[in-house]
Structure formats: C-alpha cells, structure tokens
Amino acid sequence: MTSRSNTSQITPIVLSGFQVTCFIASSFLPLYFWVFPRIAVDAAGFDAQWSVLLLLPVGMVIGWLHAETNRLFPDVAGADLLMAAFGKAVGWVVAATTLLLYIWFVSLSLTLFAYTLRMYFPNTPRLAMLLGMVVVASFGAYKGVETLARTASVVYPLTAIFVVFTFVFIIFQSPHHWFVHRVYHLSSVGKGIYMLIPLFMGFNITGMLSPFYTTAPRRWWYPLIAVMIGGVVMWIIFAAVQLLFGVRAMQDLGFPIQVILQLMRLRGWIIERFGIFVVIFATTFTTVFLSNHIWGLATLLTRVCRQPEQKNYLFLFPVAAAIATVAVLYPNEEVAFLHLRTFLVPSGWLLLVVMPLLAVILGYIRRGFKPEFPELTKAPSNLRGRSW
C-alpha cells in the first residue's frame, strides 16, 4: 500500500494499533448518535434497554467478521479485497453497490447532524453548515490516511472521554430510576437490535485499512476494541436518557441526546459554556468521520474505475460533491428518518453482516484457515507496526 509522494519513491505507511483503532472507532456512530434512543424505544418499547445492551455482542460479531476478513486478505483493501473474495465481476458489482449505499449513508449522517446543529445555530443556513464541513473533510481526505489516522487518534479519545464523563454525570444527577426490571418480549429485543444495526454503519472502512497495519502485533483485536468502546458508550448514553425521561417520554423526543445535553448546568465549574463544548466536540468528530469516509469512498471509487490507488485524490471531489448534493436535497428530518428506517436498516445488515460473512466463508474456501504471506510478515524495521 502506498501513499502519494512528491518524489517517485513510494513510502509504505504503517499505522499504529492506537491509530487504527481510533480510525475505525471514529468511522461509525454519527448516523444514529442523536436519535438512537428514540429509535430503540420505537422499535422495542420497554425492551429498548436490552436491545442496546445486546448491541455490544452483536457489534463484537461484526468486528470479528471484519477482523477475520482482514486476516484472510491482508494484502489487498477495498474493492480489491471484494474482488479477491467474491471474484472479479461479482466483487466489482459489490464494490459499486457499497459505494452508492455509503454515499447515501454518509449524506444522511451529515443531514441529521446539520439538523442537530440548527438547534444551536438557528440562524445559520443548513447549506452553509453542510458545505463547510464537506470542504474541511475533503481537505483532510486529500491529506491521506496517515493524517486522518493521526487526527482520529487525537479527536476520538477526547470525544469519547467527554461523552462518557458527561453522561455518567447526568446519570448521577438523575433523580429517578426508570430502568425496566425484566425482559418483556424477546421478539421486541430482536426488533430493537434489527433497527439499531445502522449504528455500526461505517464499520466497513476496516476493509480499507488492512494493508496499513498488516504487520502490527495483535492486529486482530483492533476492530473489536473499537466496537467495544462504541458499544459501552452507547449503553451509557442510553442509560442516562432512560433514567431521566423514562420509556414513554422518550418516544416524543426527536433528538433526545440534544435535549438531555441541554439539561446540563455546570455552574461555577471549569467548563462554563457547556453547550459550546458539545458543539465543538460533535462537529470535530463528525468532520473526522466525514473525512474518513470521503477518503475511503474515493479510494474505493478509484479502484472501481480501475485506476491505481495513488490517484485517489482525483476522485475526492466527485465523492464529496455527491455526498453534499444528497445531503442538501433532504427537505426535512422526517424524510431522513423515513429513509433511515426503510432503506438503511436492511442495507446495514447487508453491508455489516451478510457481506463480511460471505467474504469470510469465501476466504476460508479460497485461502484456507491460516493463509501465509511471507512477504507481509515483516515491515521495514523503522516502520514496523507499533504496539500500544
């Protein structure tokens, strides 16, 4: 795997385990982040909390499938990985389909975030927010995977710590205990999990990263750690919302996370303008998320168009423009929710579970359980994958 370079010499990029984990972890969650408690309660009713809790093991399975795919195909990424697993023709079709679905998914995430931001900045046009973020994210994507990984390794821990701290604080401030004490209907739990799976959309970017950490020790764990952190954060957030509002009231809150953050009043404390901190962290995180996916999708498109990967910067603009256009075209958040429920949920299952599962099975058939790649076992000593 190579990066663009000013000289003709091609430098191999090796990311550290921490960077890979943060890169993956910052590539999912934003789609549902502001609305998932409502979606969980709509789908599972009183069993919503169990659905959110069980998302963690389900996410672990998804993480394992992606880690295993990367283990079986460490020498290729993105479209090449799909073609190596599914065969050239089918792999190309799968890559093209993935590309379209992901552009839609990223646009939808951006749209929902813009609607959330509108609550803080009611006079700022949505178009300005969307375009501003797309431009900044495109610039990040242009700088390449190493820059993105470094940024993610700073932004993600900060955001995760901030979110966990905030919501744990809210839990301790809540005057009531509204946890449902038992499982009501197993089918509701299943329905909740089914509807919540798009939380992990974006996880497929793991498949784009494989060659960048081929030689890293414990590489198998990185996707799993990313999922575990995400799952725990989701559970803490859901618990905070449920403890404050209860199940029934949650159904009427379009953006429960945004409402709950309004209830934080940290007076005379180190953070005086809490709302501004929320906006800064959320915007930074979403921009990193957007950057990662613009880079990933541009690279995927490069290979779908059968161009060498080094030319991925030529495809940044079409991808960014497509994402911005779809995001701008959404007339209101209810249409976005409708598309999310109707189309993105089944797409999420297809992209996150069905496709990686098939890739793993085909990988076992094509390459055996323990494929060996002698040329990949050692990176140059100065670039060897760092453990963390």
101-130 footprint of another protein as x/- string (CB under 8 A): ------------------x--xx-------
Which residue among 131, 249, 350, 379 contacts another protein (CB under 8 A)?
Answer: 249
Q: With contacts defined by CB under 8 A, name the span among 69-77, 207-215, 257-265, 294-302 that binds another protein.
A: 257-265
Under the phi-then-psi rule, with left for phi > 0, alpha for psi from -120 to 50, and beta for the rest, what region is 10? Answer: beta
Beta carbon nearer to another protein, 182 or 306: 182
**In this structure, what token pair is assigned to residue 271?**
């953070």
Helix (H, G, I), strand (E, B) or coil at 39: helix
The minimum distance between CB 186 and another protein, in angstroms, equals: 13
Which residue among 102, 167, 245, 315 contacts another protein (CB under 8 A)?
Answer: 245
Helix (H, G, I), strand (E, B) or coil at 12: strand
174-203 footprint of another protein as x/- string (CB under 8 A): -xx-xxxxx-x-------------------
The minimum distance between CB 116 and another protein, in angstroms, equals: 10
370 in contact with another protein (CB under 8 A): no
DSSP annotation of 304: H
Cβ(117)–Cβ(43) below 8 Å: no
Q: Which ranges constitute the DSSP H helices of 212-354?
A: 222-250, 256-262, 274-304, 316-329, 333-339, 345-349
- H or E stretch including 168? helix 145-173
376 in contact with another protein (CB under 8 A): no
Beta carbon nearer to another protein, 266 or 361: 266
Cβ(198)–Cβ(350) below 8 Å: no
Beta carbon nearer to another protein, 249 or 328: 249
The minimum distance between CB 377 and another protein, in angstroms, equals: 37
Burial class (CB in 10 A: 0-12, 13-18, 19+), 218: exposed
Interface of this chain with another protein, residues 267 to 326, rule: CB under 8 A? none
The minimum distance between CB 284 and another protein, in angstroms, equals: 14
Burial 78-103 (b: 16+ CB within 10 A, else e): bbbbbbbbbeeeebbebbbebbebbb
46 in contact with another protein (CB under 8 A): yes
Residues found near another protein in the complex (CB under 8 A):
6, 45-47, 119, 122-123, 175-176, 178-182, 184, 244-246, 248-249, 252, 258-259, 262-263, 265
